[in-house]
């Protein structure tokens, strides 16, 4: 046990025990929540440094506190790495989360009451894309577009153009948290141009896949603003990035600070810089390609066992299962059945879901975390078998116990980054 772990165990055994339990849960289970991943050991090491002691309000060269020679250097490195990786003219690395980065982007370029064209939450959009329960949904006028059920979830871009011409949005937003198909960024750009709007893409889920060149970069299609979290497919700390054209740089920076946030978390910005460097390496490109290959393999295996998938498959890292149609289970019961065998997923609404959000009709899964541990296409087929078995027999305790033992033994073959490796050392 290292010094810091022992110090925590000696001074707060309750918290130390809970952290230890979480390490065991992660080590012995399969993480299929598509927004989660295992960060690098180097990132974990960076987060636990003296940088957490330092306030750094402002930006490099324009801070409100003294003693910034090293924090300035760190933030400059992080910004340059973000610009280079995503081919962006400007990058802000200070947002504390995905929600904060999107809020900062809206507040930088919109006035209260302005219209935003964004994807409906049940069709795959995110809470920050104007859901009525969100603050942004009350502050701005979000017009929500949907997908087409009978065409594998495709977006009707002609209808979207007509809606834009009718509603005259100031911002056209694309991006998702549970949409398994690709987006035509060129079509979104043309729609924005037709009404004189800014084009924004939220690539929080697929930021790592875009950085690696495995999926298309909206900035290459002339988008004005692109946001992404760092902790999902990028494998960094929990944080957000705002990437934009030079024309939006001043407004974005002012919106993040002082508009929305105070002092940035410098230990997180340093960890972001570490993750961005890792993402520029050839191994990360191989990783991104494997994430997509694993998603295809998992979809193929589930379809072969009669599972109904929203949009009929996937073009990215995630899948949405219609658990009511497939197993007669709502998403909550399906999630609980998988939890009992050591597979983490999350309940998910499906397009125009008639069921409430806490007992929806679907389940969302993804492959970034399992791929990080070294699992490949063959393992995806095994995982699909365990999932289907558990969801077909959610009340068979003996069966679920046996499946949990199989999953646990399977997971011990795949090291947990930052935990198993550190203990082995």
371 in catalytic set: no
Q: Is 130 annotated as a binding residue?
A: no
Q: Is 125 annotated as a binding residue?
A: yes
64 in catalytic set: no
> Annotated catalytic residue: which of 54, 189, 232, 278?
232
The H or E element spanning position 104 is helix 98-109
268 in catalytic set: no
Q: Quote the tokens at residue 223.
A: 């988008």
Cβ(320)–Cβ(180) under 8 Å? yes
> Annotated catalytic residue: which of 115, 147, 228, 229?
229
C-alpha distances in Å from residue 250, one per residue of 114, 149, 198, 279: 20, 41, 15, 27
Q: What is the residue-wise DSSP string for 226-290? A: EEEESSSTT---S-EEEEE-HHHHHHHHHIIIIII-SS--HHHHHHHHHHHHHHTSHHHHHHHHH
> Annotated catalytic residue: which of 5, 27, 28, 55?
55
Q: Is 127 annotated as a binding residue?
A: yes
Q: For strands 30-31 and 343-344, give the pairing.
A: parallel
63 in catalytic set: no
Q: Closest Cα to residue 264, out of 104, 121, 36?
A: 104
38 in catalytic set: no
Helix/strand/coil for 202:
strand
- Report the distance separating Cα 57 and Cα 69, nearest Å: 13
- Report the distance separating Cα 254 and Cα 102, nearest Å: 14
> Which strand ranges, in their side-by-side order, compose the sheet holding 318-322?
318-322, 362-366, 346-348
> Annotated catalytic residue: which of 31, 75, 120, 202?
202
- Burial label for 10, CB within 10 Å (0-12, 13-18, 19+), is exposed
Q: For strands 171-175 and 225-229, give the pairing.
A: unpaired
57 in catalytic set: yes
> Which strand ranges, in their side-by-side order, compose the sheet holding 141-145?
90-92, 240-244, 225-229, 198-202, 171-175, 115-119, 141-145
Q: Is 234 annotated as a binding residue?
A: no
Task: List residues forming the annotated binding site.
Answer: 121, 125-127
Binding residues for (6S)-5,6,7,8-tetrahydrofolate: 121, 125-127
What positions carry a catalytic annotation? 55, 57, 202, 229, 232, 238
């Amino acid at each position: 046990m290292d010094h810091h772990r022992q110090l925590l165990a000696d001074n707060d055994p309750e918290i130390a025990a809970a952290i230890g339990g979480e390490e065991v849960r992660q080590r012995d289970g399969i993480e299929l929540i598509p927004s989660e991943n295992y960060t690098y050991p180097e990132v974990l090491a960076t987060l636990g440094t003296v940088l957490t002691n330092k306030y750094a309000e402002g930006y490099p060269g324009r801070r409100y506190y003294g003693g910034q020679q090293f924090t300035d250097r760190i933030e400059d490195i992080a910004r340059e790495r973000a610009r280079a990786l995503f081919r962006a003219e400007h990058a802000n690395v200070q947002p504390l989360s995905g929600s904060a980065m999107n809020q900062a982007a809206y507040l930088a370029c919109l006035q209260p009451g302005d219209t935003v064209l964004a994807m409906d939450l049940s069709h795959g959009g995110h809470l920050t894309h104007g859901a009525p329960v969100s603050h942004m949904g009350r502050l701005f006028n979000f017009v929500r577009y949907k997908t087409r059920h009978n065409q594998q979830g495709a977006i009707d871009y002609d209808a979207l153009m007509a809606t834009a011409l009718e509603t005259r949005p100031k911002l056209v937003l694309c991006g998702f948290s549970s949409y398994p198909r690709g987006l035509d960024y060129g079509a979104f750009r043309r729609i924005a141009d037709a009404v004189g709007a800014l084009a924004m893409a939220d690539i929080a889920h697929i930021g790592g896949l875009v950085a690696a060149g495995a999926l298309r970069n909206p900035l290459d299609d002339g988008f004005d603003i692109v946001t992404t979290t760092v902790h999902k497919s990028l494998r960094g700390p929990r944080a957000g990035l705002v990437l934009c054209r030079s024309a939006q740089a001043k407004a974005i920076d002012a919106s993040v600070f002082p508009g929305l946030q105070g002092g940035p978390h410098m230990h997180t910005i340093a960890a972001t810089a570490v993750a961005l460097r890792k993402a520029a390496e050839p191994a990360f490109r191989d990783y991104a390609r494997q994430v997509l290959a694993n998603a295809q393999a998992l979809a193929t295996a589930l379809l072969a066992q009669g599972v109904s998938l929203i949009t009929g498959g996937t073009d990215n890292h995630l899948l949405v299962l219609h658990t009511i149609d497939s197993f007669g289970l709502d998403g909550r019961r399906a999630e609980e059945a998988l939890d009992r065998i050591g597979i983490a997923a999350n309940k998910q609404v499906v397009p125009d879901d008639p069921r409430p959000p806490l007992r929806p009709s679907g389940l969302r899964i993804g492959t970034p975390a399992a791929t990080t541990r070294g699992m490949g296409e063959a393992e995806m087929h095994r995982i699909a078998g365990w999932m289907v078995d558990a969801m077909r027999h959610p009340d068979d305790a003996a069966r679920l116990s046996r499946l949990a033992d199989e999953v646990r033994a399977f997971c011990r073959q795949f090291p947990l980054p930052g935990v198993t490796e550190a203990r082995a050392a």
